Structure 1
Amino acid sequence: MTEILFIRHGETDHNKKHLYYGHLNPSLNTTGINQLKNTKKKLEELNEKIDIVFSSDLNRCRESLELLEIDKNIKKNFSENLRELNFGILEGKTYKDIEKEFPHYIDEMKNNWRNFKAEGGESLSDLQKRIVKKIEKIKKDYENKRILIIAHAGVIQSLISYYLFCNLDGYWKFKIDNGSITKMTVVDDGFIYFNYINK
């Protein structure tokens, strides 16, 4: 049995300002730091012994991982493949900014959200393919281990939707809060279930 714990990074000021940001690299704000201190306590209460850690290489995930104070003898791996969706030229914009500066995008963002791709960015379909490929490799390489993954809301929502629906249909049906924990279990025959989401 393989268990994967996904933790979303803590809040940043970009979250607070409701900006579209995926590959931008802000640090956690005070709220985000406190969220991860609480997550550390939750993780201790759950008594989940971690064997290996993977994290997005962006600051907000690195800082979140540091605050969890995972045993220094446990290997930590950082990967670009666990990054949030790349919003391209929309990075750092609010929805109002996009309405004003890129009005031609609005219709497609609403009606073709699975495949919509801003210039220089990627679509949610691209994100899901990238993330699933990475998780499938981790699952294979670390069978029967308990794996901790520090990532982003879009990453975790994409994975939940993939493993429950085999597509993006469930993407908007799950709320993943900053600092929350989601646990996925892979049983020996490959069957997957979620023990909890957004704890």
Structure 2
Amino acid sequence: MESKICLIRHGITEGNKNRLYYGHADIPLAAEGIDELKRLAESGLYPDGVNAEFYTTGLRRTEQTLELIYGRQKHESLEKLKELNFGSFEMKSHAELKDLEEYRIWKSDKLGNLPPPNGESLQAFYKRVIRGFDDLKERNALKAFSMRHKDDEALSIAVCHGGTISAILESIYPKVKDNFYKWIPDPGHGYILFMEDGKVADTEKF
């Protein structure tokens, strides 16, 4: 059975503009992000949401992004798809943190095993996100099965975060070298995953 999953990164926030570490901090979209999402929606960038199933991570910036693109839609929250929890480093910049010993130690960890104070490690983040993606794939497969006798194709639309999307794409294409930052889409953009029998057969960036 064929279906699609659409992963959309939320719009621009003050955290993006000021290059802050923020993941679980529940901040809203910046005015610039709202305007940009309206423009992108009007351009026809996004897939038609008729009969789609919608998901966010429950954070305000994902809730706002979903509503700006598709209007008020019934949806569920998939909290496992939240961005990395930066703990005590949340809402702080490199300039604010660079003289802290615990920050320097964390930044020097190339394997991603060390968490920031009161946060989670990159490896723990990867594992959490993949569990969340497995849940999303299962929901999409069930939707596809329920629609197997219809002409419409099952579509799941998840508004989440840049790091989350990158972790998912990295898991799909593990042989691509140095690909974590490669896969992060611009705010308001993302990927369509073409599914066959519950597995990703192809991807398309938008």
One-letter code aligned to 1:81: K
Alignment correspondent of 2:33:
32
Equivalent-residue separation in structure 2 for 1:189 and 1:175 (angstroms):
23
Alignment correspondent of 1:85:
84
Q: Is the 8 A contact 2:87 2:116 kept in 1?
A: yes
- 1:190 equivalent to 2:199? Answer yes
One-letter code aligned to 2:157: L
Alignment correspondent of 1:174:
183
- 1:141 equivalent to 2:150? Answer no
**CA offsets, 1:64-85, max 9 Å, x none?**
111013474xx31123222110
Equivalent-residue separation in structure 2 for 1:56 and 1:67 (angstroms):
16
Equivalent-residue separation in structure 2 for 1:89 and 1:135 (angstroms):
26
**CA offsets, 1:101-137, max 9 Å, x none?**
x234325424425323101111222112111111112
Q: CA RMSD in A?
A: 2.4
C-alpha displacement of 1:192:
3.0
**CA offsets, 1:157-194, max 9 Å, x none?**
10010111179952122231110131111212735321
**CA offsets, 1:50-105, max 9 Å, x none?**
52011011111111111013474xx31123222110001111110111112x2343
Query: Where do 5+ consecutive residues of structure 2 fail to align?
Result: 145-153
The residue correspondences of 1:64-75 to structure 2 (distance < 5 A) are 64-70=65-71, 72=73, 75=74
Alignment correspondent of 1:98:
97
- 1:164 equivalent to 2:168? Answer no
C-alpha displacement of 1:49:
4.3
Secondary structure at the aligned position of 2:104 is classed as helix
Q: Which moved more, 1:166-175 or 1:132-141?
A: 166-175
Q: Is the 8 A contact 1:88 1:119 kept in 2?
A: yes
TM-score by length of 1: 0.86
Q: Is the 8 A contact 1:131 1:155 kept in 2?
A: yes
Alignment correspondent of 2:10:
9
One-letter code aligned to 1:87: F
* Distance 1:42-1:5 versus aligned 2 partners, 3 A rule: farther
* Distance 1:164-1:142 versus aligned 2 partners, 3 A rule: same
Alignment correspondent of 2:151:
none
Alignment coverage as a number of residue pairs = 194
Query: Where do 5+ consecutive residues of structure 1 fail to align?
Result: none
Q: Which moved more, 1:184-193 or 1:144-153?
A: 184-193
Q: Which moved more, 1:104-113 or 1:140-149?
A: 104-113
Q: Is the 8 A contact 1:61 1:150 kept in 2?
A: yes
Secondary structure at the aligned position of 2:21 is classed as coil
* Distance 1:46-1:56 versus aligned 2 partners, 3 A rule: closer
